[in-house]
Chain A
Amino acid sequence: MQKQLTLLLMDPPYESETTTTAFRIISEAQKKGIKVSVFAYEGAVSLTVATQKPHANAPKGCADVKVQNHPTTKAWVEGLLAQGQLEWTYCGLCADERGSEGNMVAGAKRGTPGDFVKAAAASTNVLVIPTR
């Protein structure tokens, strides 16, 4: 039986290291053939906002956005989704209150805590990564 891992994320993009660590866990799990479900709660719904844009870094002397190659969390999530074996669900109410509904990357699905419960019940293990 295929193993399944569920993660609940809460941190918004560009605010902590925990999300990057979660991305690394997801990537490694995918390589091992483990199915991953993510429930993005509260600020984490912004991880998949589609209109995120990379930027250059003029104060540090880099005016070329291509050279700066700034990552965006939405690009990372898109990359992870492209690897397969990943379901990304964001809290619909959290997206509504942040005005981000309708501005999500393809593959990110609106959901409720009930979806998290279903995924958790089907999972080998669950990791909650809250905001600190």
Chain B
Amino acid sequence: MGKTLNVVERAYHATLEEQDDVALWFSLAMKVQGNLEQSILLRGNAVNYLVRGQDAGGLRIGDLALDPPPRILDDLEMLKGKGIDLYAVEEDLASRGVPKDRLMSGVEVVKKSAIPDLFARHDRIWYW
């Protein structure tokens, strides 16, 4: 089937209700249950998923606590641990004021101009 690049742009949508990001979760499930060879390119607001020190804990609605909360960074570490390469768009980090030294390790930051080459190294591009 070749290698797929998942481009994840929409971020923090239902991460609390789902306890994770649905696109990243689906990538993990495709790896675990379908052994899909893939990479993930985070762009737009999704680049913020890479920032260390995020904490969504403590949410309580009425008497119900959200426990465990989403831990997106741990999920990205899990994906990386399963051999999934992670990329992030440099300009999207810069426009949001996210310094590179606050990112999790092992992420390749790419310029927008390099994205066509990244596409060319994959057989399928799926946009989330």
Contacts and interface: CB of A to CB of B under 8 A. Distances in A.
A70 interface: yes
B64 A71 contact: yes
A22 to B, nearest CB: 10
A24 B60 CA distance: 8
Interface in B93-114: none
Given A15-B13, A16-B14, A59-B32, A27 B67 contact: no
Chain A interface residue bracket vs B? 20 to 34
B64 A13 contact: no
Given A59-B29, A70-B19, A27 B13 contact: no
Contact of A15 (B14, B28, B63, B64): B14
B98 to A, nearest CB: 19
Given A16-B13, A19-B17, A73-B17, A79 B62 contact: yes
A69 B68 contact: yes
A71 B17 contact: yes
14 contacts: A16-B14, A17-B13, A20-B14, A20-B59, A20-B61, A30-B62, A59-B28, A60-B20, A70-B19, A71-B64, A71-B66, A75-B64, A76-B62, A82-B63
